[in-house]
Structure 1
Amino acid sequence: MSAPRVLGLDLSITATGICLPDGTTRTIKTNPKDGDRRLQQIVSEVGIALDEHEFGDASDLVVMEEAPPGLKGPAIKAIHMVHGAVRLRLLDFDTPYAVINPTVLKTYATGSTSADKTAMAMAAYKRTGREFGDDNQCDAWWLRVAGLDWLGSPEFSLPVAQRDRLAKATWPVPKGNPS
Protein backbone atom coordinates (compact mmCIF):
# COMPACT_ATOMS: atom_id res chain seq x y z
CA MET A 1 0.00 0.00 0.00
CA SER A 2 1.34 3.45 -0.89
CA ALA A 3 1.72 6.29 1.58
CA PRO A 4 -1.26 8.64 1.90
CA ARG A 5 -1.19 11.82 -0.16
CA VAL A 6 -0.86 14.75 2.25
CA LEU A 7 -0.70 18.43 1.34
CA GLY A 8 0.76 20.94 3.84
CA LEU A 9 -0.43 24.57 3.84
CA ASP A 10 1.09 27.45 5.78
CA LEU A 11 -1.63 29.98 4.98
CA SER A 12 -0.94 33.70 4.69
CA ILE A 13 -2.45 36.56 2.69
CA THR A 14 1.03 37.61 1.49
CA ALA A 15 3.03 34.36 1.17
CA THR A 16 1.35 30.96 1.53
CA GLY A 17 3.67 27.97 1.78
CA ILE A 18 2.63 24.74 0.08
CA CYS A 19 4.17 21.30 0.43
CA LEU A 20 2.87 18.92 -2.21
CA PRO A 21 2.31 15.21 -1.55
CA ASP A 22 5.61 14.39 -3.23
CA GLY A 23 7.45 16.68 -0.77
CA THR A 24 8.19 19.55 -3.15
CA THR A 25 7.51 23.01 -1.80
CA ARG A 26 6.59 26.38 -3.22
CA THR A 27 5.28 29.75 -2.09
CA ILE A 28 2.19 31.58 -3.35
CA LYS A 29 3.08 35.27 -3.22
CA THR A 30 0.34 37.86 -3.59
CA ASN A 31 0.37 41.58 -4.28
CA PRO A 32 -1.29 43.84 -1.66
CA LYS A 33 -2.52 46.07 -4.50
CA ASP A 34 -4.83 43.20 -5.53
CA GLY A 35 -6.87 43.49 -2.32
CA ASP A 36 -9.36 40.69 -1.74
CA ARG A 37 -8.52 39.18 -5.15
CA ARG A 38 -5.53 37.71 -3.35
CA LEU A 39 -7.99 35.28 -1.76
CA GLN A 40 -9.00 34.10 -5.23
CA GLN A 41 -5.36 33.63 -6.19
CA ILE A 42 -4.59 31.58 -3.08
CA VAL A 43 -7.72 29.41 -3.40
CA SER A 44 -7.05 28.90 -7.11
CA GLU A 45 -3.45 27.82 -6.54
CA VAL A 46 -4.43 25.51 -3.66
CA GLY A 47 -7.05 24.01 -6.00
CA ILE A 48 -4.39 23.47 -8.66
CA ALA A 49 -2.16 21.74 -6.08
CA LEU A 50 -5.05 19.46 -5.11
CA ASP A 51 -5.94 18.72 -8.73
CA GLU A 52 -2.32 18.01 -9.66
CA HIS A 53 -2.30 15.18 -7.17
CA GLU A 54 -5.85 13.89 -7.74
CA PHE A 55 -7.08 14.40 -4.20
CA GLY A 56 -10.51 13.24 -3.21
CA ASP A 57 -10.55 9.81 -1.61
CA ALA A 58 -10.57 9.02 2.11
CA SER A 59 -6.79 8.61 2.46
CA ASP A 60 -6.03 12.18 1.36
CA LEU A 61 -5.50 14.96 3.85
CA VAL A 62 -4.66 18.65 3.89
CA VAL A 63 -2.86 19.89 7.01
CA MET A 64 -2.97 23.62 7.78
CA GLU A 65 -1.40 25.74 10.48
CA GLU A 66 -3.85 27.62 12.68
CA ALA A 67 -3.57 31.41 12.92
CA PRO A 68 -0.65 32.31 15.20
CA PRO A 69 -1.65 33.42 18.69
CA GLY A 70 -1.20 37.10 19.42
CA LEU A 71 -2.08 38.45 15.99
CA LYS A 72 -4.22 41.58 16.14
CA GLY A 73 -5.86 44.09 13.85
CA PRO A 74 -5.69 43.69 10.08
CA ALA A 75 -3.29 40.71 10.28
CA ILE A 76 -5.72 38.51 12.22
CA LYS A 77 -8.61 39.51 9.95
CA ALA A 78 -6.56 38.67 6.85
CA ILE A 79 -5.44 35.24 8.07
CA HIS A 80 -9.01 34.34 9.05
CA MET A 81 -10.24 35.38 5.59
CA VAL A 82 -7.61 33.16 3.97
CA HIS A 83 -8.53 30.24 6.22
CA GLY A 84 -12.24 30.69 5.48
CA ALA A 85 -11.70 30.84 1.72
CA VAL A 86 -9.41 27.79 1.64
CA ARG A 87 -11.59 25.76 4.00
CA LEU A 88 -14.63 26.49 1.86
CA ARG A 89 -12.72 25.17 -1.18
CA LEU A 90 -11.80 22.03 0.74
CA LEU A 91 -15.37 21.52 1.97
CA ASP A 92 -16.79 22.06 -1.54
CA PHE A 93 -14.64 19.20 -2.82
CA ASP A 94 -15.03 17.01 0.30
CA THR A 95 -11.29 17.11 1.03
CA PRO A 96 -10.51 16.23 4.66
CA TYR A 97 -8.31 18.69 6.51
CA ALA A 98 -6.58 19.05 9.85
CA VAL A 99 -5.62 22.21 11.70
CA ILE A 100 -2.50 22.38 13.86
CA ASN A 101 -1.71 25.12 16.36
CA PRO A 102 1.70 26.73 15.70
CA THR A 103 2.93 25.77 19.18
CA VAL A 104 1.98 22.14 18.60
CA LEU A 105 3.79 22.16 15.25
CA LYS A 106 6.92 23.73 16.79
CA THR A 107 6.98 21.14 19.56
CA TYR A 108 6.40 18.31 17.10
CA ALA A 109 9.26 19.51 14.89
CA THR A 110 11.80 20.64 17.48
CA GLY A 111 10.70 19.55 20.93
CA SER A 112 10.35 23.20 21.99
CA THR A 113 7.18 25.29 22.19
CA SER A 114 9.19 28.46 21.59
CA ALA A 115 11.12 27.37 18.49
CA ASP A 116 11.67 30.15 15.97
CA LYS A 117 11.81 29.90 12.18
CA THR A 118 15.53 29.11 12.24
CA ALA A 119 15.03 26.24 14.70
CA MET A 120 12.28 24.79 12.49
CA ALA A 121 14.57 24.94 9.45
CA MET A 122 17.47 23.43 11.37
CA ALA A 123 15.29 20.56 12.62
CA ALA A 124 14.30 19.76 9.01
CA TYR A 125 17.92 19.99 7.88
CA LYS A 126 19.19 17.74 10.69
CA ARG A 127 16.52 15.10 10.04
CA THR A 128 16.58 15.05 6.24
CA GLY A 129 19.13 17.49 4.84
CA ARG A 130 16.25 19.56 3.41
CA GLU A 131 16.58 23.29 2.84
CA PHE A 132 13.76 25.61 1.80
CA GLY A 133 13.33 28.83 -0.15
CA ASP A 134 11.59 30.49 2.80
CA ASP A 135 10.08 29.76 6.21
CA ASN A 136 6.58 29.39 4.69
CA GLN A 137 7.78 26.39 2.69
CA CYS A 138 9.50 24.96 5.77
CA ASP A 139 6.33 25.20 7.87
CA ALA A 140 4.24 23.69 5.06
CA TRP A 141 6.73 20.81 4.83
CA TRP A 142 6.50 20.17 8.58
CA LEU A 143 2.68 20.23 8.31
CA ARG A 144 2.82 17.55 5.60
CA VAL A 145 5.27 15.48 7.69
CA ALA A 146 2.92 15.76 10.70
CA GLY A 147 -0.03 14.60 8.59
CA LEU A 148 1.87 11.59 7.29
CA ASP A 149 2.94 10.75 10.84
CA TRP A 150 -0.64 11.03 12.14
CA LEU A 151 -1.83 8.72 9.36
CA GLY A 152 0.78 6.12 10.32
CA SER A 153 3.28 6.78 7.53
CA PRO A 154 6.03 8.82 9.18
CA GLU A 155 8.87 9.93 6.93
CA PHE A 156 11.36 9.51 9.80
CA SER A 157 11.30 8.78 13.50
CA LEU A 158 10.91 11.43 16.16
CA PRO A 159 11.01 11.13 19.94
CA VAL A 160 7.72 9.85 21.38
CA ALA A 161 7.14 13.09 23.32
CA GLN A 162 7.28 15.07 20.06
CA ARG A 163 5.02 12.66 18.19
CA ASP A 164 2.52 12.67 21.07
CA ARG A 165 1.98 16.41 20.51
CA LEU A 166 0.01 15.58 17.37
CA ALA A 167 -2.89 14.43 19.57
CA LYS A 168 -3.45 18.12 20.38
CA ALA A 169 -4.28 18.97 16.75
CA THR A 170 -7.78 18.96 15.25
CA TRP A 171 -7.89 15.91 12.96
CA PRO A 172 -10.83 14.98 10.72
CA VAL A 173 -12.98 11.96 11.44
CA PRO A 174 -12.27 9.39 8.71
CA LYS A 175 -15.04 9.06 6.12
CA GLY A 176 -17.52 6.36 7.03
CA ASN A 177 -16.75 6.71 10.77
CA PRO A 178 -19.82 8.11 12.58
CA SER A 179 -17.97 8.99 15.81
Structure 2
Amino acid sequence: MTISGLIEPGALSPTADLVTAPDGLRVIGLDLSLTSTGVALPTGTTYRIRTRQKDGDRRLLVIRDRIRQDLAEHRPHVAVVEDLPRHAKGAGITAMVQGVVRAELVEAGVPYALVVAATLKSYAADHGRAEKPAMAAAAFLAAGAEFTDDAGGDQCDAWWLRATGHDHYGAPLFSLPEAQRARLTKVNWPVELPR
Protein backbone atom coordinates (compact mmCIF):
# COMPACT_ATOMS: atom_id res chain seq x y z
CA MET A 1 0.00 0.00 0.00
CA THR A 2 1.30 3.43 -0.92
CA ILE A 3 0.03 6.61 0.64
CA SER A 4 0.62 9.94 -1.03
CA GLY A 5 -0.85 13.24 -0.10
CA LEU A 6 -2.52 16.21 -1.60
CA ILE A 7 -0.32 19.24 -2.09
CA GLU A 8 -2.07 21.92 -0.09
CA PRO A 9 -4.31 24.02 -2.33
CA GLY A 10 -3.32 27.64 -2.82
CA ALA A 11 -5.26 30.76 -2.12
CA LEU A 12 -7.17 30.81 -5.40
CA SER A 13 -10.48 30.26 -3.66
CA PRO A 14 -11.13 32.30 -0.52
CA THR A 15 -13.76 29.84 0.72
CA ALA A 16 -11.59 26.73 0.37
CA ASP A 17 -11.30 25.01 3.74
CA LEU A 18 -8.47 22.54 3.91
CA VAL A 19 -8.60 21.28 7.47
CA THR A 20 -12.08 21.50 8.98
CA ALA A 21 -15.20 21.71 6.90
CA PRO A 22 -17.68 24.54 7.38
CA ASP A 23 -20.22 23.80 10.08
CA GLY A 24 -18.13 20.81 11.18
CA LEU A 25 -19.45 18.58 8.37
CA ARG A 26 -17.14 15.58 7.84
CA VAL A 27 -17.32 13.99 4.37
CA ILE A 28 -15.13 11.19 3.04
CA GLY A 29 -14.82 10.70 -0.73
CA LEU A 30 -14.11 7.21 -2.10
CA ASP A 31 -13.13 6.34 -5.68
CA LEU A 32 -13.10 2.55 -5.38
CA SER A 33 -10.89 0.24 -7.40
CA LEU A 34 -9.27 -3.10 -6.69
CA THR A 35 -5.84 -1.86 -7.80
CA SER A 36 -5.87 1.78 -6.68
CA THR A 37 -8.61 3.22 -4.48
CA GLY A 38 -8.63 6.98 -4.08
CA VAL A 39 -9.58 8.39 -0.67
CA ALA A 40 -10.30 12.00 0.30
CA LEU A 41 -10.43 12.26 4.07
CA PRO A 42 -12.66 14.74 5.90
CA THR A 43 -9.53 16.85 6.50
CA GLY A 44 -9.06 17.32 2.75
CA THR A 45 -6.00 15.07 2.58
CA THR A 46 -6.03 12.53 -0.22
CA TYR A 47 -4.21 9.25 -0.70
CA ARG A 48 -4.37 6.00 -2.64
CA ILE A 49 -4.74 2.44 -1.40
CA ARG A 50 -2.68 0.43 -3.85
CA THR A 51 -2.80 -3.35 -4.03
CA ARG A 52 -0.93 -6.02 -5.96
CA GLN A 53 -2.62 -8.44 -8.33
CA LYS A 54 -0.55 -11.32 -7.01
CA ASP A 55 -2.32 -10.96 -3.64
CA GLY A 56 -5.64 -12.01 -5.21
CA ASP A 57 -8.77 -11.50 -3.12
CA ARG A 58 -6.68 -10.54 -0.08
CA ARG A 59 -6.60 -7.10 -1.74
CA LEU A 60 -10.21 -6.69 -0.61
CA LEU A 61 -9.06 -7.06 2.99
CA VAL A 62 -6.33 -4.45 2.53
CA ILE A 63 -8.89 -1.97 1.21
CA ARG A 64 -11.48 -2.85 3.86
CA ASP A 65 -9.00 -2.55 6.71
CA ARG A 66 -7.70 0.84 5.57
CA ILE A 67 -11.24 2.23 5.09
CA ARG A 68 -12.21 0.81 8.50
CA GLN A 69 -9.26 2.67 10.06
CA ASP A 70 -10.21 5.93 8.31
CA LEU A 71 -13.84 5.65 9.42
CA ALA A 72 -12.82 5.04 13.04
CA GLU A 73 -10.25 7.84 13.06
CA HIS A 74 -12.19 10.54 11.17
CA ARG A 75 -15.81 9.61 12.01
CA PRO A 76 -17.33 11.04 8.81
CA HIS A 77 -20.97 12.09 8.78
CA VAL A 78 -21.36 10.84 5.20
CA ALA A 79 -19.39 9.03 2.51
CA VAL A 80 -19.65 9.89 -1.16
CA VAL A 81 -18.72 6.93 -3.36
CA GLU A 82 -18.30 6.78 -7.11
CA ASP A 83 -20.97 4.38 -8.34
CA LEU A 84 -20.29 1.24 -10.34
CA PRO A 85 -19.73 1.62 -14.07
CA ARG A 86 -22.88 0.56 -15.89
CA HIS A 87 -21.58 -1.19 -19.00
CA ALA A 88 -17.92 -1.76 -18.36
CA LYS A 89 -15.99 -5.00 -18.30
CA GLY A 90 -14.45 -3.99 -14.97
CA ALA A 91 -17.81 -3.47 -13.27
CA GLY A 92 -17.75 -6.95 -11.73
CA ILE A 93 -14.31 -6.47 -10.22
CA THR A 94 -15.20 -3.03 -8.91
CA ALA A 95 -18.45 -4.48 -7.51
CA MET A 96 -16.42 -6.71 -5.19
CA VAL A 97 -14.69 -3.64 -3.73
CA GLN A 98 -18.02 -1.79 -3.57
CA GLY A 99 -19.58 -4.62 -1.58
CA VAL A 100 -16.77 -4.78 0.96
CA VAL A 101 -16.66 -0.99 1.44
CA ARG A 102 -20.44 -0.54 1.57
CA ALA A 103 -20.65 -3.25 4.23
CA GLU A 104 -17.98 -1.42 6.21
CA LEU A 105 -19.88 1.87 5.90
CA VAL A 106 -23.12 0.22 7.06
CA GLU A 107 -21.37 -1.41 10.02
CA ALA A 108 -19.77 1.92 10.99
CA GLY A 109 -23.14 3.72 10.74
CA VAL A 110 -21.93 6.04 7.97
CA PRO A 111 -24.63 6.81 5.39
CA TYR A 112 -23.41 7.05 1.82
CA ALA A 113 -24.36 8.53 -1.53
CA LEU A 114 -23.46 6.99 -4.87
CA VAL A 115 -22.41 9.37 -7.64
CA VAL A 116 -22.11 8.08 -11.21
CA ALA A 117 -18.93 9.07 -13.02
CA ALA A 118 -20.70 11.23 -15.61
CA THR A 119 -22.43 13.26 -12.89
CA LEU A 120 -19.14 13.73 -11.04
CA LYS A 121 -17.38 14.86 -14.22
CA SER A 122 -20.21 17.24 -15.13
CA TYR A 123 -20.13 18.72 -11.63
CA ALA A 124 -16.35 19.16 -11.62
CA ALA A 125 -15.44 19.97 -15.21
CA ASP A 126 -18.80 20.80 -16.83
CA HIS A 127 -18.57 17.81 -19.18
CA GLY A 128 -19.82 14.29 -18.50
CA ARG A 129 -16.92 12.71 -20.38
CA ALA A 130 -14.14 14.85 -18.96
CA GLU A 131 -10.78 13.09 -18.93
CA LYS A 132 -8.45 12.93 -15.91
CA PRO A 133 -6.38 16.01 -16.95
CA ALA A 134 -9.56 18.11 -17.17
CA MET A 135 -10.66 16.93 -13.72
CA ALA A 136 -7.25 17.82 -12.27
CA ALA A 137 -7.29 21.22 -13.99
CA ALA A 138 -10.77 21.91 -12.61
CA ALA A 139 -9.56 21.06 -9.08
CA PHE A 140 -6.67 23.46 -9.49
CA LEU A 141 -8.96 26.22 -10.78
CA ALA A 142 -11.55 25.66 -8.04
CA ALA A 143 -9.19 25.48 -5.07
CA GLY A 144 -5.57 25.37 -6.19
CA ALA A 145 -5.47 21.62 -5.54
CA GLU A 146 -2.72 19.55 -7.09
CA PHE A 147 -2.26 15.82 -6.64
CA THR A 148 1.01 13.88 -6.44
CA ASP A 149 1.42 10.26 -7.46
CA ASP A 150 -2.03 10.21 -9.05
CA ALA A 151 -1.55 9.06 -12.65
CA GLY A 152 -4.96 7.38 -12.71
CA GLY A 153 -6.75 10.33 -11.13
CA ASP A 154 -7.98 8.29 -8.15
CA GLN A 155 -7.15 10.95 -5.56
CA CYS A 156 -8.55 13.71 -7.75
CA ASP A 157 -11.86 11.88 -8.21
CA ALA A 158 -12.07 11.16 -4.47
CA TRP A 159 -11.38 14.84 -3.78
CA TRP A 160 -14.23 15.84 -6.09
CA LEU A 161 -16.54 13.25 -4.51
CA ARG A 162 -15.87 14.82 -1.10
CA ALA A 163 -16.60 18.24 -2.59
CA THR A 164 -20.00 17.06 -3.90
CA GLY A 165 -21.03 16.03 -0.40
CA HIS A 166 -20.07 19.38 1.06
CA ASP A 167 -21.88 21.18 -1.72
CA HIS A 168 -25.08 19.15 -1.38
CA TYR A 169 -25.27 19.57 2.40
CA GLY A 170 -24.88 23.35 2.21
CA ALA A 171 -21.20 23.61 3.19
CA PRO A 172 -19.45 24.10 -0.18
CA LEU A 173 -15.67 24.19 -0.09
CA PHE A 174 -15.45 26.62 -3.03
CA SER A 175 -17.65 28.35 -5.60
CA LEU A 176 -18.83 26.68 -8.79
CA PRO A 177 -21.30 27.84 -11.45
CA GLU A 178 -24.89 27.05 -10.49
CA ALA A 179 -25.35 24.90 -13.61
CA GLN A 180 -22.58 22.57 -12.44
CA ARG A 181 -23.87 22.47 -8.87
CA ALA A 182 -27.37 21.60 -10.15
CA ARG A 183 -26.03 18.30 -11.51
CA LEU A 184 -26.00 16.98 -7.94
CA THR A 185 -29.80 16.80 -7.93
CA LYS A 186 -29.43 13.49 -9.81
CA VAL A 187 -27.85 11.88 -6.74
CA ASN A 188 -29.90 10.02 -4.14
CA TRP A 189 -28.50 11.70 -0.99
CA PRO A 190 -29.03 10.40 2.55
CA VAL A 191 -31.68 12.58 4.20
CA GLU A 192 -30.38 12.42 7.74
CA LEU A 193 -26.77 12.44 8.81
CA PRO A 194 -25.44 11.37 12.19
CA ARG A 195 -24.16 14.25 14.33
Verify same fold: TM over 0.5: yes
Q: Where do 1:10-159 residues align within 5 Å?
A: 10-55=31-76, 60-72=77-89, 75-133=90-148, 134=150, 135-159=153-177
Give TM-score scaled by structure 1 length. 0.91
Give the 4+ runs in structure 1 shifted more than 3 A: none
Deviation at 1:54? 2.8
Correspondence for 1:160 = 178
Q: Which amino acid aligns with 1:173?
A: V
Residue 46 of structure 1: how far off its partner (Å): 0.6
Q: Using the aligned pairs only, state the percent identity.
A: 48
- The one-letter amino acid of 1:12's match is S
> What amino acid sits opposite 2:145 in the alignment?
R
* Structure 1: distance between partners of 2:142 and 2:128: 18
CA contact under 8 A between 1:3 and 1:153: conserved in structure 2?
Answer: no
How has the CA–CA distance of structure 1 residues 112 and 145 changed in structure 2, closer, same or farther, with 3 Å as cutoff? same
Separation (CA, whole Å) in 1 of partners of 2:193 and 2:142: 32
**Secondary structure in 2 aligned to 1:172?**
coil
Deviation at 1:112, TM superposition (A): 0.9
The answer (yes or no) to whether the contact 1:15–1:136 under 8 Å persists in 2 is yes
Q: Note the aligned Cα RMSD (angstroms).
A: 1.4
What SS does structure 1 have at the residue aligned with 2:147? coil
> Would you say how many aligned residue pairs link Structure 1 and Structure 2?
170
What secondary structure does 1:147 align onto? helix
Deviations 1:30-71 (A, max 9, x none): 01111111111101101111111134xxxx000000123431
Residue 2 of structure 1: aligned partner: 23
Gaps of 5+ in 1: none
Report the Cα offset of residue 170 of structure 1.
2.1
- TM-score, reference length from structure 2: 0.84
2:78–2:193 Cα contact (<8 Å) kept: no
- The SS at the match of 1:2 is helix
